[in-house]
Amino acid sequence: MNDVMSAQNAYPGGGGGGSDRTRRLRSLGLNDPSPDEAFDRFAHLAASITRAPIAMVNFVNDERQMFRGLYIPPNPAQTEEDDAWADRGIAFDLPNREMPLSHGFCPHVVAQRSPLALDDILAYPRFAGNPVVDELGVRAYLGAPLVDDTNTVIGTVCVLDREPRQWGRERLKDIQHLAEALLSEIRLRDNLLAQQQEMFAAFDGSPFPIMLTDSPEHLIRYANAEHLGVFGNPGPFAPVGQAYPQLGAAGLPHAVEDAYRSGRTTVLKDVRVQSYVPGARRAEQVYTFTCTPLRNARTGQVNGVLTVGMDTTAQSRTEEELGTLAALLVDRLQQSGRGLPG
């Protein structure tokens, strides 16, 4: 197949817009700032080991920094006595877990592909004027790059303090070891994606349109051959409504959203679609779509939706058949790993 969303390119490492790093983050399902329990644990561990009040697992794309892992000290009243180091926390309000590339020092670590230790940021003219110094009171920084198996720097593990720190060689080694350990988690996710690609190869032979979306934006991560043949090529990582205006107008994005938010299967009936193929056998077809949530096997959190369409123009198939088919496909996909990564 030469379509960009076929099974062999369902998670492209080099397709789509943006830099290699952004494409790599998309392929790993890490190109958004949503919290990740595993990465939060790594951030807490980084803070504990370095005795720093703020820690992050930060992925950096072409437009922003995304703190998938974040540790901010708890309320001082809830802090254990032997964790007094955490009281030095910064007034750090990141409700969306993201930050512009102009802020902080992780983009520098990513660009240089090497660790960075700043004992007192004000002593470095190159960094002293960074917005986080005045806006957040950051005075010390320690970070290490995350270099994955494709030799792409996808982000950092870092810690911050509002007081000058002598990080020293031991703390630098600690943060580098944490980065290496975190890459093992990312490698596991990558391997699961490879297993899912094998499953998608089987989906490509299905006579029913199949589409997989992920993230709260419902970006299309995969569409099988039948889907491409009926509805056209959506382009990589496009939202459902934007990729398919007809389906958007018919309410499919709302059905996908409902399945994602509620965790329950949603059915959208009697969707009339004008064929985009000139001279098609039927100018108009009627479809029923079943949108079934996919869950992370570890956390149980919904992280994607599998949408299966059935041509009901001739009323030759029933809704029950479609529901059975969708459940079977979801079961096979879940068994291939843990649903979508993230």
pLDDT in tens, 155-213: 999 999 999 999 999 999 999 999 999 998 888 878 777 776 777 777 888 889 999 99
Q: Indicate which CATH number applies to the domain containing 70.
A: 3.30.450.40
Question: In terms of domains, do 94 and 170 share one?
Answer: yes
* Residue 236: pLDDT over 70: no
> Sheet of 266-274: strands edge to edge?
219-223, 210-214, 302-311, 284-295, 266-274
Q: How far apart are CA 325 and CA 304, in angstroms?
A: 18
Question: In terms of domains, do 182 and 299 share one?
Answer: no
Q: Is residue 341 part of a domain?
A: no
Number of domains within the chain: 2
* Residue 226: pLDDT over 60: yes
The pLDDT score that the predictor gives to residue 230 is 86
* Residue 4: pLDDT over 60: no
Highest mean pLDDT among 60-74, 105-119, 191-205, 310-324: 105-119
Question: In terms of domains, do 231 and 322 share one?
Answer: yes
* Residue numbers of the domain that contains 12: 7-192
Closest by CA to 141, choosing from 103, 191, 198, is 103
Contact criterion met (CB below 8 Å) for 68 and 30: yes
Q: Where does a domain end: 168, 192, 216?
A: 192
Q: Is residue 198 part of a domain?
A: no
* Cα 248 to Cα 10, 36, 61, 214, 290, distances in angstroms: 22, 30, 28, 17, 15
* Residue 144: pLDDT over 90: yes
Q: Is residue 199 part of a domain?
A: no
Q: Is residue 197 part of a domain?
A: no
Question: In terms of domains, do 188 and 241 share one?
Answer: no
The pLDDT score that the predictor gives to residue 17 is 55
The reported pTM is: 0.59
The pLDDT score that the predictor gives to residue 214 is 86
Question: In terms of domains, do 177 and 212 share one?
Answer: no
264 versus 84: the higher-pLDDT residue is 264
277 versus 217: the higher-pLDDT residue is 217
Of the pLDDT bands very low, low, confident and very high (cuts 50, 70, 90), residue 87 is very low
Q: Which two tokens stand for residue 34?
A: 């949503």
Question: In terms of domains, do 117 and 162 share one?
Answer: yes
In this predicted structure, which of 46-60, 89-103, 209-223, 230-244 has the lowest mean pLDDT? 89-103
| Average pLDDT over all residues of the chain | 82
Q: Is residue 186 part of a domain?
A: yes
* Residue 85: pLDDT over 60: no
Question: In terms of domains, do 212 and 185 share one?
Answer: no
Q: Where does a domain end: 163, 192, 221?
A: 192
Q: Where does a domain end: 192, 222, 254?
A: 192
The pLDDT score that the predictor gives to residue 205 is 81
If you search the block for the tokens 């099974």, which residue do you land on?
7
Q: Indicate which CATH number applies to the domain containing 325.
A: 3.30.450.20
Of the pLDDT bands very low, low, confident and very high (cuts 50, 70, 90), residue 91 is very low
180 versus 222: the higher-pLDDT residue is 180
The pLDDT score that the predictor gives to residue 68 is 94
Q: How far apart are CA 165 and CA 184, in angstroms?
A: 29
Q: Give residue-wise pLDDT tens across range 10-34.
A: 433 333 457 899 999 988 889 988 8
Contact criterion met (CB below 8 Å) for 97 and 67: yes
